[in-house]
C-alpha cells in the first residue's frame, strides 16, 4: 500500500462516505465488494485516479532505488542518495533548480527526502519517470528567473531548509552564500546589480560592517521584495521611512545614500 497523507485520506474518506450516504452506484459497488471505507481509501491511492496523473508504484520504485539505508531508514533518502538522484535528473547542487526540487518535494533539510513528500510532490506535477523529472527540472530552470511568484516561493522555502537545527535564524555565512546564488544570474537567479549600483556587493559589505549577525526570517523575506523594488527604481523614489521595512533595510538605505554622496 502506498503512503498517503492524513489530509488526503480524510478528503477521500469524506467523498466515499458521501457516495455511500447517497446510495450511488459507487456505494453499491463498495458494498458488493464488501469493502469498508479504509480499504476503499487504500484502493483509491493505488489507482491512477489517486496519483494526480503519475504512477505511485513507479515513483515508489524510484524512491527505493536511492535509499541510503533501507533497513534503518526505509522511508528516507539521505545525502549520498540525494546527490546521486539529483545527478541523475541533471540538477547541479550549486543552482537554484536544486532548491526548486527541494521545495517541490518539501525536503526537511538539505540533502534529504522523505517518501511521503517525494511521492506527493512528483504526483502533483505528473512525473513518474526520471525522464519526466529531467524535463520538469529543465522547465524550472527556465521559469525561476522569469516567474516572480515561483522565485519567491523557492526563495522563502530556502530559509528553513538551510537553517541549522534548533536555530530560529540563518547564519550570516549561509545567508550570504544563498543571496549570491539567488541574486546573480550565473546559476539561475535574478541579477540584482543595476547600471549604477552593485547592490549585492554593497548589501553584504553593509552587513559585514554591522558584525555579520544572523539573519531572521523577516529580513530574509523582505530583502527579496526590496531587491525587486530597487531593480525598478534604484533612486528610491518608492521608499518611505514610515514603511514597514525591517530596521536593517532602513539603515541600508541611509548607508547607500551616504555612499552615493
Q: 167-191 pLDDT, tens per residue? A: 999 999 999 999 999 999 999 999 9
Mean pLDDT of 55-74: 95
Mean per-residue pLDDT over the chain, rounded: 86
How far apart are alpha carbons 75 and 63 in whole angstroms?
9
> CA 80 → CA 36, 73, 110, 118, distances in Å?
41, 13, 11, 16
On whether both 256 and 162 belong to a single domain, the answer is yes
On whether both 156 and 256 belong to a single domain, the answer is yes
On whether both 24 and 74 belong to a single domain, the answer is no
Residue 142 exposed, middle or buried by CB count within 10 Å (0-12, 13-18, 19+): exposed
Q: Is the pLDDT higher at 28 or at 206?
A: 206
Residue 173 lies in a domain: yes
Residue 1 lies in a domain: no
CB crowding 24-49: b at 16 or more within 10 Å, else e: eeebeebeeeeeebeebbbbbbeeee
For the chain, what is the domain count?
A: 3
The 10s digit of each residue's pLDDT in 117-163 is 999 999 999 999 999 999 999 999 999 999 999 999 999 999 999 99
User: Residue 46: what are its φ and ψ, rounded to 5°?
Assistant: -90, -5
* DSSP element (H, E) containing 113: strand 113-114
Q: Which residues contact 43 (CB under 8 A, 6 or more apart)?
A: 35
CATH of the domain at 206: 1.10.238.200
Residue 39 lies in a domain: yes
On whether both 178 and 109 belong to a single domain, the answer is no
On whether both 64 and 104 belong to a single domain, the answer is yes
The 10s digit of each residue's pLDDT in 103-119 is 999 999 999 999 999 99
211 is in which domain, residue-wise?
149-260
- Of 115, 144, 173, the one marking the end of a domain is 144
Residue 105 lies in a domain: yes
> CA 139 → CA 134, 185, 198, distances in Å?
9, 16, 29
On whether both 123 and 87 belong to a single domain, the answer is yes
Mean pLDDT of 229-241: 93
Residue 191 lies in a domain: yes
On whether both 155 and 245 belong to a single domain, the answer is yes
CATH of the domain at 69: 1.10.238.10
Residue 79, classed as helix, strand or coil, is helix
Amino acid at each position: 500500500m502506498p503512503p498517503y497523507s492524513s489530509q488526503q485520506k480524510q478528503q477521500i474518506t469524506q467523498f466515499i462516505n458521501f457516495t455511500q450516504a447517497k446510495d450511488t452506484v459507487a456505494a453499491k459497488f463498495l458494498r458488493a465488494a464488501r469493502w469498508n471505507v479504509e480499504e476503499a481509501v487504500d484502493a483509491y491511492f493505488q489507482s491512477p485516479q489517486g496519483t494526480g496523473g503519475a504512477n505511485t508504484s513507479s515513483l515508489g520504485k524510484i524512491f527505493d532505488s536511492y535509499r541510503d539505508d533501507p533497513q534503518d531508514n526505509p522511508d528516507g533518502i539521505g545525502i549520498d542518495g540525494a546527490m546521486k538522484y539529483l545527478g541523475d535528473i541533471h540538477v547541479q547542487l550549486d543552482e537554484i533548480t536544486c532548491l526548486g526540487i527541494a521545495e517541490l518535494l518539501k525536503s526537511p533539510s538539505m540533502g534529504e527526502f522523505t517518501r511521503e513528500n517525494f511521492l506527493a510532490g512528483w504526483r502533483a506535477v505528473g512525473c513518474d519517470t526520471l525522464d519526466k523529472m529531467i524535463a520538469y527540472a529543465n522547465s524550472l530552470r527556465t521559469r525561476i528567473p522569469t516567474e516572480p511568484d515561483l522565485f519567491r516561493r523557492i526563495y522563502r522555502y530556502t530559509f528553513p531548509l538551510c537553517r541549522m537545527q534548533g536555530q530560529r535564524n540563518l547564519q550570516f555565512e549561509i545567508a550570504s552564500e544563498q543571496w549570491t546564488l539567488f541574486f546573480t544570474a550565473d546559476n539561475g537567479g535574478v541579477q540584482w546589480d543595476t547600471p549604477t549600483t552593485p547592490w549585492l556587493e554593497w548589501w553584504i559589505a553593509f552587513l559585514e560592517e554591522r558584525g555579520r549577525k544572523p539573519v531572521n526570517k523577516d529580513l530574509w523575506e523582505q530583502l527579496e521584495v526590496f531587491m525587486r523594488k530597487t531593480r525598478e527604481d534604484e533612486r528610491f523614489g518608492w521608499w518611505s521611512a514610515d514603511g514597514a521595512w525591517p530596521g536593517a533595510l532602513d539603515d541600508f538605505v541611509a548607508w547607500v545614500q551616504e555612499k552615493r554622496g
